Amino acid sequence: MTGTTDFARGRSWLVFSLLLGSACTADREEPPPAAAAPSPAAVVDVHSFARPEEARVRHVSLDLTPDFGSQRLAGTARLVIERAAGADSIVLDVRDLTIRRVTDAAGAPLGFELGQGDSIRGQPLIVRLPAEGDTVVVDYETSPAAAAVQWLRPAQTAGRRRPFLFTQGQAILTRTWVPTQDSPGIRQTYDAVIRVPAGMQAVMSAELLTPEGERAEGGRTAYRFRLEQPVPPYLFALAVGDLEFREIGPRSGVWAEPSVVDSAAREFAEVEQITAAAEKLYGPYRWGRYDILVLPPSFPFGGMENPRLTFATPTVLAGDRSLVSLIAHELAHSWSGNLVTNATWNDFWLNEGFTTYIEGRIMEELRGKDYADMLRQLGRQSLLATIQDLGGPQAPDTRLQLDLAGRDPDEGMNDVAYEKGAAFLQTVEATVGRERLDTFLRGYFDRHAFQPMTSEQFLQELNADLFRGDEALAGRVRAREWIFEPGLPDNVPAVEAAAFAKVDRQVDAFRAGTSPDSLATSGWSTHEWLHFLRALPDTMELPRLAALDQAFNFSRSGNSEILFEWLRTAIRNRYEPAFPALERFLTTQGRRKFVAPLFEELATTDWGRQLGQRIYARARPGYHSVTAGTVDHILTPAPAGNR
Ligand code: BES
Ligand code: ZN
């Protein structure tokens, strides 16, 4: 692990006083009122080397050619820069990039230097700015090991005919494929031309300007893109593969491999209703189209909120639309996260906590309160489990605002941000009333559209705009305690899903010895089953597990969430008949949320660790670096004293 001193050296200052001008150039319709300008306090992003107060990137133009043979993206990034008077250099973030040349707009070489870095942040790339003009062109190539990029062989795709590649920028991985200032507080617009082999399709988190593609050199097809809204670089995204498109709504469609695209279109057919529900609550969707790309099964996340084009795991294709809350979640990021963005990764809860809260609200509109309450209760259960895993309610990482200096931001990306964050907004809602909170949130998104946000700044907003001097109200919410103290404050409202009461009765009956065949489970949805599985006793006799499996076919479930909960139970009890299904699950998808806890469960015993290591040897080559990195740590823990 890198020392903090090293970290302190290259820290970057995001200066909100905006001595370099407005951050919301593309928000032409609704510029935020000047009164809402954030306080001039400087915010440190310890995960970037950039010094935006000297010079900052405003726009990135990419011209990239993927080479599937050598697993490299090669080409240029043309950066449009804004600089303070007297600034003669700009500091970019890069990691594992080969920089071939840096020039000005006319092609005249510019001096550059790769500075001292570390394994988490990569390196600063310091470029001498041209005397004239505001353009810097970096000619570069990515490494096959680029952490953001996964290159898939044809055998790793659904069609098995063509290779595939996709990027994953969040949190600090964009610097492994684009040399830019990779900090969530430094928003940039972008455009791109991507030159792909004939027969392949490129898609990005941007408008596709050439749907048919253009003929390019070497028999390639060039696709052009443009995103006119400024976004943090973690939202730059690219995928290339054998992709087809199906329209599913007036402003939405799905991209997926040909054999998957129709089932994806059916699964996500409600996307327009989801978008309309969010708009009704928080104002217009500001990104034009909302499309969904279904990736091959190694995609490490459930979903990623890339602007205009959510990236999604195929493990949400349950066949019955029971997992579409994931789409509600990613769509919600179009407000919380993509419009108003955590200024640094310490404020990650401002992205994910808000989004999880909004996801619940959207699902309530779509499916009703009973349904949304099931989601909320499952979320609350995960939160309590996570707080325990992190060391209990005193553990520093159970705070909403984190201190990730010297650490990989990945370490802060757990259910605290999501579920404690959501629980905080549920607390505010319960205190001030839904209507007032909705009005506040809508104004918050409008006022801070296309800007970064810190926890402190949010707190100020809350006081100024929601509590408005009502000390009693503020005292009932206890926002400071929620945001800056560990644990779960005791004013959190209870969540009780009516539907789970009947599930609990069946769990009780099962515990009392009732045969699974005789339990009253008809009509249960995915979420009732999830609650049932989580409520089972930690240890069970093998015949009881066999009876459950026989009655409900869990080992063969086509629902990834249900299969996951069942496999966890199976490992805990060493129920070997489920192990072929476990091995299949771990070797055919790479979603970290499923993979990591299963390996963790395996790693708690000697036999399990051995089985885990054997399975991992087969599974690892198929995993994205994000998933492999986490599992590496689980199966080979750092030596004692170094953790
Ligand atoms: N933005 C996250 C995914 C993410 C988080 C990527 C941290 C990299 C670092 C995305 O919106 C998300 O939360 N996805 C969830 C699904 C959601 C329904 C909770 C996931 O991937 O499981
Ligand atoms: Zn999210």
Taking CA atoms only, the protein residue closest to ligand 1 atom 3 is 304
| pLDDT at residue 4 greater than cutoff 50 | no
Lowest mean pLDDT among 3-12, 62-71, 470-479: 3-12
Ligand 1 centre to CA of 17 (Å) is 31
Ligand 2 centre to CA of 29 (Å) is 27
Q: Are 81 and 57 in contact (CB under 8 A)?
A: yes
Residues whose beta carbon lies within 6 Å of some atom of ligand 1: 170-171, 301-305, 326, 329-330, 333, 352, 413, 593
327 — pLDDT class (breaks 50, 70, 90): very high
Q: Are 543 and 511 in contact (CB under 8 A)?
A: no
Predicted pLDDT at 375 = 98
Q: Residues for the chain: how many in total?
A: 643
From the CA of 312, the nearest ligand is 1
Atom of ligand 1 nearest to the CA of 170: 8
> How far apart are alpha carbons 49 and 90 in whole angstroms?
10
629 CA to centre of own chain: 16
From the CA of 419, the nearest ligand is 1
For residue 225, the one-letter residue type is: F
What integer best gives the mean pLDDT of the chain? Answer: 93
Instruction: Classify 557 in phi/psi space as left (phi over 0), alpha (psi -120 to 50) or beta.
Output: beta
| pLDDT at residue 8 greater than cutoff 50 | no
Average pLDDT over residues 466-470: 97
Report the share of the chain in percent with pLDDT over 90.
Answer: 91
Q: Please tell me the chain's helix, strand, coil percentages from 3-state DSSP, rounded to the nearest 5.
A: 40, 20, 35
Kindly write down the DSSP assignment for every residue of 51-109, as one continuous string.
-TTTEEEEEEEEEEEEETTTTEEEEEEEEEEEE-TT--EEEEEESSEEEEEEE-TTS-B
| pLDDT at residue 559 greater than cutoff 90 | yes
Taking CA atoms only, the protein residue closest to ligand 1 atom 10 is 304
> How far apart are alpha carbons 589 and 450 in whole angstroms?
35
Predicted pLDDT at 270 = 98
Report the share of the chain in percent with pLDDT over 70.
Answer: 93
Q: Are 2 and 120 in contact (CB under 8 A)?
A: yes
Taking CA atoms only, the protein residue closest to ligand 1 atom 20 is 302
**Which residue blocks in 512-559 are alpha helix, DSSP H?**
526-535, 542-552
Taking CA atoms only, the protein residue closest to ligand 1 atom 6 is 170
Ligand 1 centre to CA of 254 (Å) is 19
> How far apart are alpha carbons 293 and 540 in whole angstroms?
41
Strand 55-67 with 72-83, pairing = antiparallel
* SS3 of residue 197 by DSSP: coil
Atom of ligand 1 nearest to the CA of 300: 21
Ligand 2 centre to CA of 294 (Å) is 16
Q: Which tokens in the block code for residue 570?
A: 């199976």
604 CA to centre of own chain: 28
From the CA of 625, the nearest ligand is 1
Predicted pLDDT at 640 = 61
504 — pLDDT class (breaks 50, 70, 90): very high
> How far apart are alpha carbons 479 and 497 in whole angstroms?
26
Largest distance between two CA atoms of the chain: 81
From the CA of 624, the nearest ligand is 1
Taking CA atoms only, the protein residue closest to ligand 1 atom 22 is 302
The catalytic residues are 330, 418
CA triple 537-538-544, angle to 5 deg: 60
Predicted pLDDT at 41 = 52
Atom of ligand 1 nearest to the CA of 337: 1
Taking CA atoms only, the protein residue closest to ligand 1 atom 15 is 302
Tell me the per-residue pLDDT of 410-465, one tens digit each, with 9 for 90 and over: 998 999 999 999 999 999 999 999 999 999 999 999 999 999 999 999 999 999 99
Ligand 1 centre to CA of 330 (Å) is 8
> How far apart are alpha carbons 223 and 208 in whole angstroms?
7
Tell me the per-residue pLDDT of 284-302, one tens digit each, with 9 for 90 and over: 999 999 999 999 999 999 9
Q: pTM above 0.85?
A: yes
Beta-sheet strand order (sheet of 244-249): 244-249, 252-256, 291-294, 309-312, 303-304
Predicted pLDDT at 6 = 37
CA triple 396-354-264, angle to 5 deg: 115
Atom of ligand 1 nearest to the CA of 329: 18
Q: Which tokens in the block code for residue 39?
A: 């306080």
> How far apart are alpha carbons 209 and 111 in whole angstroms?
34
User: Could you count the other beta carbons within 10 Å of the beta carbon of residue 86?
Assistant: 6
Ligand 1 centre to CA of 548 (Å) is 31
User: Could you count the other beta carbons within 10 Å of the beta carbon of residue 240?
Assistant: 26
Predicted pLDDT at 42 = 72
Taking CA atoms only, the protein residue closest to ligand 1 atom 2 is 304
| pLDDT at residue 641 greater than cutoff 70 | no
Pocket test for ligand 1, best of 172, 301, 310 (most atoms within 8 A of CB): 301
Tell me the per-residue pLDDT of 133-183, one tens digit each, with 9 for 90 and over: 999 999 999 999 999 999 999 999 999 999 999 999 999 999 999 999 999
Q: Which of 437, 458, 459, 434 is nearest to 448 (CA)?
A: 458
For residue 322, the one-letter residue type is: S
Ligand 1 centre to CA of 300 (Å) is 9
Predicted pLDDT at 204 = 99
Tell me the per-residue pLDDT of 565-618, one tens digit each, with 9 for 90 and over: 999 999 999 999 999 999 999 999 999 999 999 999 999 999 999 999 999 999
Atom of ligand 1 nearest to the CA of 413: 7
Atom of ligand 1 nearest to the CA of 326: 18
Predicted pLDDT at 639 = 65
Tell me the per-residue pLDDT of 103-144, one tens digit each, with 9 for 90 and over: 999 999 999 999 999 999 999 999 999 999 999 999 999 999
* SS3 of residue 234 by DSSP: helix
Q: List b or e across 480-504, with b for residues whose CB sees 16 or more CB atoms inside 10 angstroms.
A: eebbebbebbeebeebebebbeebe
Lowest mean pLDDT among 45-49, 156-160, 633-637: 633-637
